[in-house]
Amino acid sequence: MRRRGRWRLSWLGLAAIVGGLTLVWLYFNHPNLAKEPTGIVTAVYLGTGVILILWGVASLLRDAIGFFGNLRNQPSHRYQVRMPREAVIYFLILLVLCAGALMGRSNMLMLVFGLMAGPFILNGQVTLLIVNRLNVTRTLPARAVCGESFSVKLALTNRKRVLSSWMVAAEDLVQTPLEPLQPAVLFACVPPRCQREAAYQILPVRRGLYDFGPVRVMSRFPLGLVERSFELGSVEQLVVYPRVGRLEAGWHRLADSGPSVSSQVVARAGAGDDEFQRLREYRGGDSPRDIHWRTTARRNELMVREYEHSRRRDLFLVIDLWLAPRPQARDHERVELAVSFAASICVDHLQAATDSAVDLIVCGEQVSRAAAGSQVASLDGLLETLALVHAGPALTLATELRAALSADRDRMRKILLTTRRRKLVESTLPPDSDGFEIIECEPALIANYVTYDDSLSRASSGSGSGVHSSGFWPQGR
């Protein structure tokens, strides 16, 4: 998802053009000024007016160049000047004072105008010095999982030799599958030739591709009358994996009640029929004889021994991501549940048997294939495939199943996850597809097989936003 170009008009530049034209008009049309055309009056009115007009035109041209640069998907490194609402009111007061002083020939009003215009101009120049010669780098995590918060670190570097940068806000643009977000962090002070770091947190509620950037640094220091900002930093992408849950005893009982393991697997070398693999938390249905009492007493919770069969099957997983032409909210829920359940199955299978493999086929908008073995990188590739798939008509499901059955997959456990009704799927399957375990991705049924952490549901119910971000004060380095 790319950021669309949007013209942000420089109101300060437009105000400078209006003010410059007003000074030029007053010089040529005011009767008192026409009678006394001294050199000082000419320099003040004509010179100041021309300078304001040229500066305003240059600001508008920079905005136009940045706008067309965004349309060509080129990085935009341009300044942007913005006047807050308070500054607009302040500027209108200045115009009234200037007009009253010129029309009424009041030195006192002109003095007040000069005293009020000085801080306004000074604030604009100070903010320019603050945001000048800054650099921002972003550090993304290696991987992210839906439902688990992660931190994005921003490092602001001040490349100036003498001046510090005060009260600089860095606003990042995050394009998510749900909505664009703009998390921001604040840097209180960045000394010259130093770097400060700050971070914000994101809780993703939807899998997919997330775009980060560019970063806009801005400052209104010290008076808040003029805000100058500068876009910098590259655009980076992060793939958020599907939500991974914990498979319950109901799923393991379903696996044990399937076809005989001994008739479909290849024996591997081992000390016995079962080998001890790890200790884990007690689940409903576990045998009390497998409880490891010493670890239970130390951790104050029931821990059981988990054994790995010396005879292990590989897994062949087919996902039918069917979506109706006019989907409703529950249809999208079934799709996300199917992807999340498939990710949980793959992770649990590869963790339970380091010598097994997973073959994955997803039939949705397009056909996606992936395979994973004992390497972590292969598991990442499988989860990335699940994160980027899209639901669709799934017209090639029968073809893919027929091709899978013709291949040598007799020694693999074959599972078909579908978002359709089971009867509709069975009517489209080839006649020799009895080896597949068909599981309908209905929330009430899947709840018996997998459980998830409820932190995501609490965060989603507390706010309407898909991603929650929070800024932190920087820590020096």
Residue 311, both tokens: 């005879």
The domain that contains 195 carries what CATH number? 2.60.40.10
When pLDDT is cut at 50, 70 and 90, the band that residue 371 belongs to is confident
In one-letter notation, the amino acid at residue 411 is R
* Domain co-membership, 191 together with 299: no
* Domain co-membership, 355 together with 292: no
pLDDT of residue 125: 82
* Domain co-membership, 442 together with 316: yes
Beta partners for 416? 318, 438
* Domain co-membership, 404 together with 263: yes
Q: How far is CA 174 from CA 156, 200, 213, in A?
A: 18, 12, 6
* Domain co-membership, 251 together with 341: yes
Report the domain count for the chain: 4
* Residue 170 placed within a domain: yes
Instruction: Note the helical H segments in 233-362.
Output: 249-256, 293-299, 329-352
Instruction: With a cut of 70, say whether residue 351 has pLDDT above it.
Output: yes
What is the SS3 assignment for 1-64? CCCCCCCCCCHHHHHHHHHHHHHHHHHHHCHHHHHCCCHHHHHHHHHHHHHHHHHHHHHHHHHH
* Domain co-membership, 233 together with 217: yes
Burial of 443 (0-12, 13-18, 19+ CB in 10 A): exposed
* Domain co-membership, 303 together with 316: no
Return d(Cα 230, Cα 218) in angstroms, integer. 6
* Domain co-membership, 106 together with 185: no
Give the residue, 309 or 106, on which the prediction is more confident: 106
Return d(Cα 190, Cα 46) in angstroms, integer. 40
* Residue 61 placed within a domain: yes
* Residue 457 placed within a domain: no
* Residue 442 placed within a domain: yes
* Domain co-membership, 110 together with 142: no
Q: In the block, which residue shows the tokens 């040229």?
A: 54
The domain that contains 256 carries what CATH number? 3.40.50
* Domain co-membership, 177 together with 92: no
Residue 199, both tokens: 């971070």
pLDDT tens digit string along 269-322? 333 345 566 788 888 778 888 888 888 888 888 888 876 554 456 888 889 898
Residue 8, both tokens: 């942000």
* Residue 5 burial (CB count, 10 A): 14
* Residue 373 placed within a domain: yes
Return d(Cα 462, Cα 477) in angstroms, integer. 35
When pLDDT is cut at 50, 70 and 90, the band that residue 169 belongs to is very high
* Domain co-membership, 258 together with 377: yes
Polymer length of the chain: 477
pLDDT tens digit string along 216-253? 999 999 888 888 888 887 889 999 999 998 888 888 77
What is the SS3 assignment for 365-423? CCEEEEEECCCHHHHHHHHHHHHHCCCECCCCHHHHHHHHHHCCCCCEEEEEEECCCHH
Give the residue, 155 or 11, on which the prediction is more confident: 155
pLDDT of residue 70: 52
Return d(Cα 5, Cα 72) in angstroms, integer. 9
Give the residue, 121 or 313, on which the prediction is more confident: 121
Q: Is 208 helix (H, G, I), strand (E, B) or coil?
A: strand
Are 397 and 363 spatial neighbours (Cβ–Cβ below 8 Å)?
yes
In one-letter notation, the amino acid at residue 222 is P
* Domain co-membership, 226 together with 144: yes
pLDDT tens digit string along 15-47? 778 777 877 777 777 655 555 556 666 676 777
Residues near 330 by Cβ (< 8 Å), separated by ≥ 6?
none
Strands 227-232 and 79-82: antiparallel
Indicate the average pLDDT of the chain.
78
* Residue 3 placed within a domain: no
* Residue 458 placed within a domain: no
* Residue 299 placed within a domain: yes
Residue 49's domain comprises 11-129
